[in-house]
Homo-oligomer: A and B are copies of this chain.
Amino acid sequence: MRSLKLSKAFTLIEPGPVIFVTTNDGQKNNIMTISWSIVQDFTPTFVIVTGPWNHSYAALLKTKECVLAIPTVDIIDKVIGVGTCSGEETDKFAKFNFTPLKAKHVHAPLIKECLANIECRVVDVIKKHNMIILNGVKAYLDSSRKEKRMIHSVGDGTFVIDGRKIDRRKMMKSKLPDGV
């Protein structure tokens, strides 16, 4: 898992994939699956929608740290498995055979089996709208991974997988930040 320039981290979240959020509450690691996330800026600022109904929420508020990990289609059933059980009674790293890797700036673990990981700090909590604002502090990409297609949740139990890529860099040039 090699470092990815932090200025490129938003390109992992902008396409709207299903992601994992890992936390460590001081005692144990946990993972949740989230489909509701956005980029909030070209700087690596992200918004996730979560609340007390997620077991990870308490750890997020307490530690103010997490990792966003990006899974791909080859592990879709683990993505759904993680999203349909609770860390309250399950050690999800053990159950789904994920390998936690030590992060550099946060106590939440990276997930080795994911395409990418972003270490984040919680910079704001908007309780009224169940939103948490995150700042990415370090990013990683496993560029040796063959399967790179991300998963998009439709919300009705079906999922759309990344298809063809279209290049419009020239048309978009005026709107892109430097270094992406």
Contact = CB atoms under 8 A, between A and B. Distances in A.
Chain A interface size, under 10 / 10 to 19 / 20 to 34 / 35 or more: 35 or more
Nearest to A79: B168
A8 to B, nearest CB: 7
Given A131-B47, A171-B80, A161 B158 contact: no
Contacts of A49: 38-41, 47
Copies of this protein, total = 2
Interface in A102-144: 124, 126, 128-131, 133
B129 A157 contact: no
Interface of A: 8, 10-11, 14-17, 35-42, 47, 49, 73, 76-77, 80-81, 83-84, 124, 126, 128-131, 133, 149-176, 180
